[in-house]
Amino acid sequence: MQLYEKTAGELHDMLRKKDCSASEAVESLIERIDAVEGKVHAYLTKTPELARETAKKVDERLAAGEELSPLAGIPIAIKDNICTKGVRTTCASKMLENFVPPYSATVVHKLEHAGTPVLGKLNLDEFAMGSSCENSHFQNTANPHDLGRVPGGSSGGSAAALAAGECTLALGSDTGGSIRQPASYCGVVGLKPTYGSVSRYGLVAFASSLDQIGPMGRSVEDVALLYEAIRGMDERDLTSAQREYEPLHGQLDGGVRGMRLGVPEEYFGPGVEDEVKEAVRAQIGELERSGAVIVPVSLPSTGYALSAYYIISSAEASSNLARYDGVKYGYRSENGSSLEELYLNTRSEGFGDEVKRRIMLGTFVLSSGYFDAYYKRAKILQGRIGQEFASAFDACDAILTPTAPDTAFRFGEHTADPLKMYASDICTVTVNIAGLPAVSVPCGKDKNGLPIGMQIIGRKFSEKTILTVAKAVETLRGGYHSLPQIG
């Protein structure tokens, strides 16, 4: 087994025992990127020199006999909507093509502090709007399990890089499913943390009340490790939660015996492919045989969640994206003889179609004639969805659903029909609407050998519970699997 195939946990053990150095780990990853990136296209910017520099420092500390943090020397890559000081942060948009942030996100500071070498910045749908990475201004990222298919989105670069062995850990962001759906399509693990547990400072805003940065990895323990490193109160984020967090890594082997696991019928309805339903139900059966108590629960407003999500997220996006005007920073049009024309041309030329669609939808639902009919009703629904989850959690400790209604689709299959693309989020958006944590873990394959993911949803701040269930699923499936053959 090569170093690039190892999990973060395995690499950490090797580093501690001096079975390899951080520099060797980083070199192995860089070689792997050179070998497969021409097929996968996960990276928008590569930073091998930065990674080498960090690894060298870690090796020096190791040689000096220092006790290292679990993430020291573990190569990571970062979704390109998270600001990295001195390293281009594009949001996969022409608008920010040459934007080099003068500051780093809080999560990036935390990684620096831990001594985590950063390999580069990963592709996404423009401003994290999309479900396939096809909305990137720069490139399409391929699914390592089938290069003719999408990796999901918007954190498709993160999921694909992990599945291809092009990084050991990755950061994504999730507004309506953008960590979990690509994790499901690429057969990796992704956690959307409780809203407020990870600082959003330095995450380029899409829909601030829903956005959350989260960890992605090839094993459940790796995701727990990264989550522990990035969570915590940050005074630079006013929605950041002040609380004590329990340790997770190495604490997830409790199993599901006696746990009450809720299954909502609404998530197994029409629109969800049969193979997906079967794989998730089969896994639920396995958990029951392991001692879990399966309880039916009801989340009746699920059918309205997608509409509520696209109204709320677009409303917030239309306001957040007002800052890209060609004056303050980012792309500026060469055309236009007045300030108004400068704004107009900059935004027309700088944003892609999907971003424009969201801005138009958002300004529409916020406009005075339509505010009550759309935005206000979506917010009422948001409250109801939260209450329905709260009553469901009276009867169970975690809720099990498919992560996505389907498996990875082919390039171009949904691009002509935005509603079809939006339907990809049918199982994930409720979690953001209610501010809950949820993890996607591989639970099977379809007839084409494409990964299927199970979503485990928990009460606020119950990451330990949902990761314990995820680990039980992973163990039942024989642990973390080797990388797919690429090409």
Q: Which residues bind ligand GLN (CB under 6 A)?
A: 128-131, 154, 174-178, 206, 313, 425
Shortest Cβ 457–ligand GLN spacing (Å): 15
Shortest Cβ 132–ligand GLN spacing (Å): 9
Residue recorded with tokens 């330990």:
464
As a 3-state breakdown, the chain gives helix, strand, coil percent values, each rounded to 5, of: 45, 15, 45
Can you tell me the distance from the alpha carbon of 232 to that of 320, in angstroms, rounded to the nearest whole number?
A: 24
Shortest Cβ 256–ligand GLN spacing (Å): 28
Shortest Cβ 351–ligand GLN spacing (Å): 15
Question: What does each C-alpha distance from 140 to 153, 166, 338 come to in angstroms?
Answer: 11, 16, 36
Shortest Cβ 207–ligand GLN spacing (Å): 8
Of 169, 172, 283, which is closest to residue 221 (Cα–Cα)? Answer: 169
**25 vs 216, which CB is nearer to ligand GLN?**
216
> Does 178 participate in catalysis according to the annotation?
yes
Tokens of 253: 């082997």
**131 vs 468, which CB is nearer to ligand GLN?**
131
Single out the catalytic residue among 79, 192, 460, 471: 79
**239 vs 475, which CB is nearer to ligand GLN?**
239
Of 59, 444, 420, which is closest to residue 282 (Cα–Cα)? Answer: 444
Shortest Cβ 201–ligand GLN spacing (Å): 17
**164 vs 213, which CB is nearer to ligand GLN?**
213
Single out the catalytic residue among 132, 136, 154, 173: 154
Label the pairing between strands 451-458 and 260-264: unpaired
Shortest Cβ 57–ligand GLN spacing (Å): 33
Single out the catalytic residue among 178, 240, 313, 440: 178
Residues making up the chain, counted from first to last: 487
Of 329, 351, 298, which is closest to residue 137 (Cα–Cα)? Answer: 351
> Does 313 participate in catalysis according to the annotation?
no
Q: How many CA atoms lie within 13 A of 336 on its CB side?
A: 18
Q: Which residue is nearest to ligand GLN (CB)?
A: 178
Of 26, 18, 8, 19, which is closest to residue 65 (Cα–Cα)? Answer: 18
Tokens of 179: 């960590």
| Strands of 189-192's sheet in order across | 43-46, 118-122, 76-79, 169-174, 212-217, 189-192, 438-445, 451-458, 398-402, 260-264, 293-297
Asked if 469 contacts 456 with a C-beta cutoff of 8 angstroms, the reply is yes
Can you tell me the distance from the alpha carbon of 262 to that of 270, in angstroms, rounded to the nearest whole number?
A: 20
- Burial (CB < 10 A; 0-12, 13-18, 19+), residue 49, is exposed
**126 vs 221, which CB is nearer to ligand GLN?**
126
Active site residues: 79, 154, 178
